[in-house]
């Protein structure tokens, strides 16, 4: 199994998973729900310790969605932040 893939049993109920797959300005949703996002101001796809994700400039880069993928009353959100900024 690749690090940026999930076993099918973990996708049950998953509405959004952005593992860093990018084409042009599209951030692809790997959950199977089709909730792709649009990259604004060119965030980059990055790889750290074998995992892919997104690199943001901490100023004006973000991802937008045409619909709100988390429209459930109860949900969990998880993410990992890696700070690579050095002064």
Number of domains in the chain: 1
Q: Per the domain annotation, does 31 fall within a domain?
A: yes
Encode pLDDT of 17-69 as tens digits: 887 778 888 988 888 888 888 999 998 888 877 778 888 888 899 988 887 76
> Which domain, by its residues, includes 34?
16-65
The token pair that represents 85 in the structure block: 């900024």
Q: Per the domain annotation, does 84 fall within a domain?
A: no
Q: Per the domain annotation, does 29 fall within a domain?
A: yes
Closest CA to 29 of 45, 15, 46: 15
Q: Per the domain annotation, does 78 fall within a domain?
A: no
- CA pair distance 18, 37, nearest whole angstrom: 9
pTM: 0.69
């Amino acid at each position: 199994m690749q690090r940026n893939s999930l076993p099918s049993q973990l996708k049950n109920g998953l509405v959004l998973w952005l593992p860093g797959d990018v084409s042009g300005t599209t951030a692809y949703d790997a959950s199977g729900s089709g909730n792709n996002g649009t990259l604004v101001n060119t965030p980059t796809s990055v790889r750290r310790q074998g995992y892919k994700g997104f690199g943001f400039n901490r100023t004006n880069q973000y991802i937008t969605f045409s619909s709100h993928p988390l429209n459930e009353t109860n949900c969990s959100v998880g993410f990992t932040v890696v700070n690579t900024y050095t002064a």
